[in-house]
């Protein structure tokens, strides 16, 4: 059995063909930077950060809609903290709050239940963004709303699914030779969902955990399997081929596959989830929220998310765009590629 030292030596000394490996999980982006993984790799192994940070891929038109709702009489927007700073076309929810908009930050969607019950004259709108990992939580919220017969909660959804957007990246010719499959998403979906894509494009996927050692093992496996359409599970303690069937079943009770708009990438068919027709009365008008305009035309988040450039290739990186003054969504969250590069002084 190969040792960690041998894996490290292999990755550092690798002198085969250049290989581009994309991670599509914001937590991986963060962990790769914090563990100094890029400096442990040969110059021929290139890491790209893909569309794995939920707030980074949320279109500006969605933020605009939240802001418009937050300004309406009797409306309160509830959201996770990161989303509040994401730029819309002219301002963020945080800016709107400064102008009197009703916005509350929550740690869990469940927090909205008590708020809404205590304040029945207001309509509470939850900003439901995220991937396969978060959608089951919104399904639990729906369960409670219906069970408790709460009439003043709605969802504004911008939910995304990972396999379809990975397929889209490959269709669009993104220069990717292998994927570090998202660890958290894979816990729910199971790694089997990536097998058709691996086979279709003859590229390897490695499902990884989040420690430095786990990442190195997965990267080693991806490099070793370059050119092969295989999915290897290097995170077997929590990831199975089938995933969490209970969570998937709960999601399927309330949500169905839809097209979805990704910041900078536009509409990607079948890459989202929305409330089923029979639950549409709980929806706050999520359809028709398309990516259309960016706050700063010089922001190159779209190319960053597609793996076409690295964050530090953007002319605004570290100059006018920094975490305290983000010009694009990729600089907002700790899981955003630009934030991660900036905060960790990463250049590769
Ligand atoms: Fe956009 Fe800022 Fe990243 Fe440039 S550095 S791509 S402006 S978020």
- pLDDT per residue as tens digits for the range 80-104: 988 998 888 889 999 999 999 999 9
Q: Is 139 in the pocket of ligand 1 (CB under 6 A)?
A: no
Mean pLDDT of 304-328: 89
Mean pLDDT of 316-336: 88
**Residue 109, number of CB atoms within 10 A of its CB:** 23
Per-residue pLDDT of 303-313, as tens digits, reads 888 888 889 99
Per-residue pLDDT of 168-225, as tens digits, reads 999 988 889 999 999 999 999 999 999 999 999 999 999 999 999 999 999 999 999 9
Q: Write the secondary structure of 183-243 as one string of H (helix), E (strand) and C (coil).
A: HHHHHHHCHHHHHHHHHHHCCCEEECCCCHHHHHHHHHHHHHCCCCCCEEECCCCCCCCCC
* pLDDT more than 70, % of the chain: 98
pTM: 0.89
Q: Which of 29, 87, 300 to mutate to test the pocket of ligand 1 (most atoms within 8 A of CB)?
A: 300
338 CA to centre of ligand 1 in angstroms: 6
Helix, strand, coil shares of the chain, percent, nearest 5, are 40, 20, 40
Give the residue extent of every domain in the chain.
23-163+237-348
Quickly list H helices, the chain: 4-13, 26-34, 60-71, 93-98, 111-118, 135-147, 162-171, 183-189, 195-201, 212-224, 245-254, 301-305, 337-343
Residue 259 has pLDDT above 90, yes or no: yes
Mean pLDDT of 268-293: 87
259 CA to centre of ligand 1 in angstroms: 26
Contact 37, 345 (CB under 8 A): no
Residue 37 has pLDDT above 60, yes or no: yes
270 CA to centre of ligand 1 in angstroms: 27
- For 6, the 3-state DSSP assignment is helix
User: What's the pLDDT at 292?
Assistant: 53
Nearest Cα residue to atom 7 of ligand 1: 299
Q: Is 328 in the pocket of ligand 1 (CB under 6 A)?
A: yes
Q: Is 314 in the pocket of ligand 1 (CB under 6 A)?
A: yes
Q: Is 341 in the pocket of ligand 1 (CB under 6 A)?
A: no
DSSP-derived secondary structure letter, 311: G
CATH number, span 23-163+237-348: 3.40.50.11740
User: What's the pLDDT at 82?
Assistant: 86
Per-residue pLDDT of 107-145, as tens digits, reads 999 999 999 999 999 999 999 999 999 999 999 999 999
Q: Is 53 in the pocket of ligand 1 (CB under 6 A)?
A: no
User: What's the pLDDT at 263?
Assistant: 82
User: What's the pLDDT at 158?
Assistant: 95
Cα–Cα distance for residue pair 107/125, rounded to 1 Å: 15
Q: Which residue has the higher pLDDT, 100 or 293?
A: 100
User: What's the pLDDT at 99?
Assistant: 92
User: What's the pLDDT at 35?
Assistant: 95
Q: Which residue has the higher pLDDT, 288 or 46?
A: 46
299 CA to centre of ligand 1 in angstroms: 5
Q: Which residue has the higher pLDDT, 266 or 293?
A: 266
User: What's the pLDDT at 153?
Assistant: 98
Q: Is 239 in the pocket of ligand 1 (CB under 6 A)?
A: no
Q: Are strands 19-23 and 45-49 parallel, antiparallel or unpaired?
A: parallel
Q: Is 201 in the pocket of ligand 1 (CB under 6 A)?
A: no
Per-residue pLDDT of 44-77, as tens digits, reads 999 998 888 888 888 888 999 999 999 999 999 9
Per-residue pLDDT of 218-243, as tens digits, reads 999 999 999 999 999 999 999 999 99
62 CA to centre of ligand 1 in angstroms: 19
Residue 13 has pLDDT above 70, yes or no: yes
Q: Is 305 in the pocket of ligand 1 (CB under 6 A)?
A: no
Cα–Cα distance for residue pair 296/319, rounded to 1 Å: 14
Burial (CB count within 10 angstroms: exposed 0-12, middle 13-18, buried 19+), residue 303: middle
Tell me the average pLDDT of the chain: 92
Q: Quick one: pLDDT band at residue 260, thresholds 50, 70, 90?
A: very high
Q: Is 284 in the pocket of ligand 1 (CB under 6 A)?
A: no
For residue 338, the ligand 1 atom closest to its alpha carbon is 3
Q: Side-chain half-sphere of 270: how many Cα atoms within 13 Å?
A: 5
Nearest Cα residue to atom 5 of ligand 1: 317
């Amino acid at each position: 059995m190969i040792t960690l030292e041998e894996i490290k030596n292999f990755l550092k000394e690798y002198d085969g063909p250049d290989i581009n490996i994309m991670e599509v999980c914001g937590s991986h982006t963060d962990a790769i930077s914090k563990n100094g993984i890029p400096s442990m790799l040969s110059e021929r192994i290139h890491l790209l950060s893909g569309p794995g940070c939920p707030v980074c891929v949320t279109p500006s038109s969605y933020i605009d809609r939240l802001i418009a709702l937050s300004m309406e009489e009797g409306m309160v927007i509830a959201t996770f903290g990161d989303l509040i700073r994401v730029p819309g076309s002219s301002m963020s929810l945080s800016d709107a709050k400064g102008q009197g908009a009703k916005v509350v930050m929550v740690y869990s969607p469940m927090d909205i239940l008590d708020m809404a019950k205590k304040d029945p004259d207001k309509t509470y709108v939850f900003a439901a963004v995220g991937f396969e990992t978060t959608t089951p939580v919104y399904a639990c919220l729906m369960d409670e709303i219906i069970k408790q017969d709460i009439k003043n909660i709605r969802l504004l959804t911008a939910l995304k699914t990972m396999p379809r957007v990975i397929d889209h990246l490959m269709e669009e010719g993104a220069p990717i030779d292998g994927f570090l499959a998202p660890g958290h998403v894979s816990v729910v979906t199971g790694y089997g969902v990536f097998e058709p894509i691996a086979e279709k494009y003859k590229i390897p996927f490695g499902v990884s955990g989040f420690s430095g050692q786990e990442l190195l093992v997965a990267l080693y496996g991806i490099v070793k399997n370059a050119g092969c359409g295989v999915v290897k599970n290097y995170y077997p303690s929590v990831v199975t081929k089938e995933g969490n069937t209970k969570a998937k079943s709960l999601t399927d009770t309330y949500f169905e596959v839809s097209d979805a708009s990704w910041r900078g990438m536009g509409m990607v068919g079948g890459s989202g989830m929305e409330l089923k027709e029979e639950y549409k009365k709980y929806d706050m008008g999520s359809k028709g929220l398309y990516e259309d305009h960016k706050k700063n035309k010089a922001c190159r988040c779209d190319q960053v998310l597609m793996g076409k450039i690295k964050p530090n290739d953007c002319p605004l990186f570290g100059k006018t765009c920094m975490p305290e003054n983000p010009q694009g969504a990729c600089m907002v969250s700790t899981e955003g590629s630009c934030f991660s590069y900036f905060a960790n002084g990463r250049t590769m």
